[in-house]
Amino acid sequence: MGESPEQKFDRISRAVQDSILQNYPNPERRGCPGDDVVRDVAGRTHLEADELWEHITHCSPCYRVFLACKQEFRGKRIIHRRAAVGLLAAAIATIPIVVITRSRPAKHDVQIGDWNLETSALRGSDSGPDTVSQQRASRSRGFIRVHLPLGSEDGEYQMQIRKTEDGSALQATKGNAEIVNGHTVVSFPVDFSSLSAGAYIAAIGRGTRRWRVYPLLLS
Ligand SMILES: [Zn+2]
């Protein structure tokens, strides 16, 4: 069981306190401002790293008085302490968020479609959808593996998901095609989870050249 943010805050606070209480004995009380002043500093509602604060955090006897006053004020100050715990909790909470964000691309490791367009005619979107059979994919996040028409060059390709052949792109993605044993293969990372089931158009192209369009069924 991991400790709560509050427990961690308390543990770190105690470690810092113990360190200050032990490391600055100052038996001659050199430079000490007096207990009343220390009490005033302990009663501050906001942290101020001035000379007094510097002294108190570098003088074990003054710090002991400071902690005693803090303890006394604890009831009145609990709101401020809670605010500090909240800040720390927020700082700790950002750590797993970063991890989650970084691990997200791993979800694209799931193949949700495998399209063979090798025998599709090499023609543009102005001549209607290719005669290849309808391509399929599931409405989820992952990647689509595409065998591009035979003879396609390698390099970067873009893919758009449209509702109609010449419609605007509902989604756009890109991938880097490689030629393996004469086959031009590209993987497009996609997330179809927000699209409703039904018929779409997958348009694949590169640069300013004409796009090729294929009927797509999402289910
Ligand atoms: Zn002192």
Instruction: Please provide residue 157's backbone torsions phi and psi, each rounded to the nearest 5 degrees.
Output: -125, 150
What pLDDT shows up at residue 7?
Answer: 86
| Domain end marker among 104, 119, 138 | 104
Cα 121 from Cα 156, distance rounded (Å): 20
Question: Rounded to the nearest whole angstrom, what is the distance from the C-alpha of residue 36 to the centroid of ligand 1?
Answer: 12
85 and 130 share a domain? no
160 and 189 share a domain? yes
128 and 211 share a domain? yes
What is the span of the domain harbouring residue 34? 5-104
Question: Rounded to the nearest whole angstrom, what is the distance from the C-alpha of residue 60 to the centroid of ligand 1?
Answer: 7
What pLDDT shows up at residue 105?
Answer: 46
214 and 115 share a domain? yes
Question: Rounded to the nearest whole angstrom, what is the distance from the C-alpha of residue 75 to the centroid of ligand 1?
Answer: 25
- What is the mean predicted confidence (pLDDT) over 172-199? 90
Q: Residue 4 is encoded by which pair of tokens?
A: 């709560």
Mean confidence (pLDDT) of the chain: 81
| Domain end marker among 51, 81, 104 | 104
**93 Cβ neighbours under 8 A, 6+ residues apart:** 5
99 and 114 share a domain? no
89 and 114 share a domain? no
Question: Rounded to the nearest whole angstrom, what is the distance from the C-alpha of residue 51 to the centroid of ligand 1?
Answer: 11
**Radius of gyration over alpha carbons of the chain, in Å?**
33
pLDDT digits (tens, 9 = 90+) for 17-35: 899 999 999 999 999 999 9
- What is the mean predicted confidence (pLDDT) over 174-187? 89
| Confidence band, pLDDT 50/70/90 cuts, at residue 104 | very low
115 and 63 share a domain? no
130 and 86 share a domain? no
Question: Rounded to the nearest whole angstrom, what is the distance from the C-alpha of residue 122 to the centroid of ligand 1?
Answer: 85
pLDDT digits (tens, 9 = 90+) for 24-63: 999 999 999 999 999 999 888 777 888 999 999 999 999 9
What pLDDT shows up at residue 59?
Answer: 95
| Domain end marker among 47, 79, 104 | 104
CB 112 within 8 A of CB 138: yes
End-to-end CA distance of the chain: 42
Q: Which residues surround ligand 1, an ion (CB under 5 A)?
A: 32, 59, 62
Question: Rounded to the nearest whole angstrom, what is the distance from the C-alpha of residue 165 to the centroid of ligand 1?
Answer: 79
Residue the block writes with tokens 């390709």: 157
116 and 213 share a domain? yes
CB 57 within 8 A of CB 33: no
Question: Rounded to the nearest whole angstrom, what is the distance from the C-alpha of residue 21 to the centroid of ligand 1?
Answer: 11
What pLDDT shows up at residue 86?
Answer: 66
26 and 45 share a domain? yes
Cα 8 from Cα 173, distance rounded (Å): 43
Whether the pLDDT of residue 94 is over 90: the answer is no
pLDDT digits (tens, 9 = 90+) for 147-172: 988 888 889 999 999 999 888 889 99
41 and 82 share a domain? yes
This prediction's pTM: 0.49
Question: Rounded to the nearest whole angstrom, what is the distance from the C-alpha of residue 45 to the centroid of ligand 1?
Answer: 21
Question: Rounded to the nearest whole angstrom, what is the distance from the C-alpha of residue 93 to the centroid of ligand 1?
Answer: 37
**41 Cβ neighbours under 8 A, 6+ residues apart:** 52, 53, 56, 66
CATH code for the domain in which residue 205 is found: 2.60.40
Q: Residue 118 is encoded by which pair of tokens?
A: 């090798």
- What is the mean predicted confidence (pLDDT) over 97-117? 65
Provide the number of structural domains found in the chain: 2
Neighbours of 14 (CB within 10 A): 10
What pLDDT shows up at residue 81?
Answer: 59
96 and 129 share a domain? no
Question: Rounded to the nearest whole angstrom, what is the distance from the C-alpha of residue 56 to the centroid of ligand 1?
Answer: 6
Question: Rounded to the nearest whole angstrom, what is the distance from the C-alpha of residue 38 to the centroid of ligand 1?
Answer: 9
